[in-house]
Each structure stands twice: as C-alpha cells, then as structure tokens.
Amino acid sequence: MKTNFWKDKRVCVTGGAGFLGSTITSKLCGLGCGELIIPRSRDFDLRINESIKKLYFETRPQIVVHLAAIVGGIGANSARPAEFLYDNLMMGTQLLHEAWVYGVEKFVAIGTVCAYPKFTSLPFSEDNLWDGYPEETNAPYGLAKKMLLVQSQAYRKQYEFNSIFLLPVNLYGPGDSIDSENSHVIPSLIMKFLDAKLSGQQEVVVWGDGSPTREFLYVDDAADGILLAAEKYNSSHPVNLGSGQEISILDLATTIASLVGYTGKLVWDRTKPNGQPRRRLDISRAQSNFGFKARMDFEDGLKRTVDWYVQSSA
C-alpha cells in the first residue's frame, strides 16, 4: 500500500501496543508517518476525561485511530458485562469529544461486529445495524462501541467533524492474546488443542454445539483496511471490514485440531452459550468507497496462526 498521505502526519493510535494496534503502527512506520503516538495505560487512563485532555494537549495529534478496548470471548463478556459496557463507552465517548475540542483533523473509530442484531439477515449489511438487539452475551460491549457511530454522525452533522466508523469482523493471526479467559475463539481453540496434545488428553471440551458460523479477517488485512479508510473515506456511514468467508465453529475446531496434530475426541458442551447464530458481512461498501478487499486466504492465515502459537509455546 504505497501512499504519501501519512508523511509528516502526527498519528495517535490508542491500543497501539495490542494485537491489531501493533500491526497498524508497524505499517504506519513503513508508510513514513511523521510522529507516532501510542498512549500507554500507565500514563493515560483513557476512561478519565482529564487524562484524555492531557494526552491531546501534550501530543497534538492530527489523526486519532481509536482501537483501545476491553475485549474478550463469550466467557469474559458474560462474567464482566458492566466493565465491558462502562470502560468501552467512557473511552470512546470522551476520546471523540475531546478530539473535536482539540481540533483533531480526523477520528477513526473502530466498532465491532457484536453491534449487529442477534438475528440479522445474511450477509450483514450496514443498513441492518438497527434492526434489533445484539446477541445477549456480548450486547453491553457491542452497544458501547455502537454509540461511537451515533456520536460520529451527530458530531459530523452539528460540528462538521470528520470522524468515521468501521466494523471489523472477528480478527485472527499471529500475536493474538493467549490468555485463556480473555482470548477469542481461534487462539482459545489452538491453546486447548495444544495443551491436550502435550498432556495426552483423550478429549477436548468445546463450548456450544458447533453450529454457529463466524467470519474471520486476518490482522494484516484489517490493518490495511483501517489505514485505507483513514486515508480515503470521509463519511460517518458505517463500513464493514471483512473477508466474506463464513465457517462453522464445528469446521473451525476440526480444522484447528488437524493443524495442531491433535487426534483425540471433540466433546461439545451444549450447556454453554453458542453466541450469535451466524455471521457473514456484506463487504461491498468498503470495496466501493476505498478499494479494500481482504487478501489472505483463510486456510493459509489459519496455518500461519497455528504455526506461530506452536512456536511460541515450545
């Protein structure tokens, strides 16, 4: 992705040390970004307004890419709904407001596919966002992030503030969290099968019944999509970022077990929640508005991801 857009720009990436953030910041360095600002929680608590004011006053960013979030899988969302709602809502609302106050040129808000209604016709179109309530286990998180869309549109209408709102699907790739409580489905399954293989377990318990489907976007593709939108997209209409490929949790688990080399039995715990029944995005808006299309083949990306975890756990 060759461009001069980022040359000499001062860019603040909240969550810039995280899984997606580190990929974006690495790409920004390669694109000649003038100054890269990565606020750390020990220096700036982004839930506190005075801390955000301090960040903007000291760094004076021209572009803010807001990635920072409290995230996790179904278990973490179910156990800590208040935290997922409050922390994400306070970070997003205040960061965008103060960006307008301090004259930031552009604010890039990163939402979540969890903002979509639990039952949404496939593929998920951005026009379906308000057709119902999100899936219950992650609704507090999804709604907190969804408020960034409402705020983005309101600030553009009243203040002509240039903010955009992107909806990436589930991300995966080397470097994602391996925290057993907070990790998402792909790293969680990889670690389960790795541990079972190393310890000689004859079976692995997987949540749900395997019927839900998910769509995944490789982290490098997600970073490219976000940077393309930051450069070329100037509207508060929400935009999906996805791959357009759908896979069932059953097929995903079976594939990961094979890649890991685990030959035991998969046992489905139907007392645990499935989450949203199906997910597949309509990705036409991103392609038509700023030319984004995912490049990584899912099987290749999954193999790279498994290989990274295997090496990391060795």
- Going by pLDDT thresholds of 50, 70 and 90, the confidence category of residue 176 is confident
State the DSSP string of 6-73: TBT-EEEEETTTSHHHHHHHHHHHHTTBSEEE---TTT--TTSHHHHHHHHHHH--SEEEE-------
More confident residue, 184 or 49: 49
pLDDT number for residue 177: 75
86, 102, 133, 141: the active-site residue: 141
**Residue 77 reports pLDDT greater than 90:** no
Q: Encoding tokens for residue 293? A: 């299309």
Mean pLDDT of the chain: 94
Q: Is position 87 within any domain?
A: yes
Mean pLDDT of 169-177: 91
Q: Is position 42 within any domain?
A: yes
Q: Is position 313 within any domain?
A: no
More confident residue, 225 or 41: 225
- Going by pLDDT thresholds of 50, 70 and 90, the confidence category of residue 183 is low
Q: Is 116 an active-site residue? A: no
pLDDT number for residue 180: 53
- Structural domain count of the chain: 1
Burial grade of 189 (CB within 10 A; 0-12, 13-18, 19 or more): buried
Mean pLDDT of 19-26: 97
Q: Is position 184 within any domain?
A: no
More confident residue, 110 or 184: 110
**Residue 303 reports pLDDT greater than 70:** yes
> What does the pLDDT look like over 36-69, one tens digit per residue?
999 998 999 999 999 999 999 999 999 999 999 9
Q: Kind of pairing, strands 213-214 and 247-248?
A: antiparallel
Q: Encoding tokens for residue 99? A: 């960006």
CATH number (domain holding residue 131): 3.40.50.720
- Going by pLDDT thresholds of 50, 70 and 90, the confidence category of residue 181 is low
* pLDDT above 70: percentage of residues in the chain: 97
> What does the pLDDT look like over 123-135, one tens digit per residue?
999 999 999 999 9
Q: Is position 73 within any domain?
A: yes
Q: Is position 54 within any domain?
A: yes
Global pTM value? 0.93
Q: Is position 286 within any domain?
A: yes
Task: Give per-residue burial for 252-287: e unless 16+ CB within 10 Å, then b.
Answer: bbebbbebbebeeebebeeeebbbbebbbbbbebbe
Q: Is position 168 within any domain?
A: yes
Residue numbers of the domain that contains 288 = 10-176+215-245+278-296
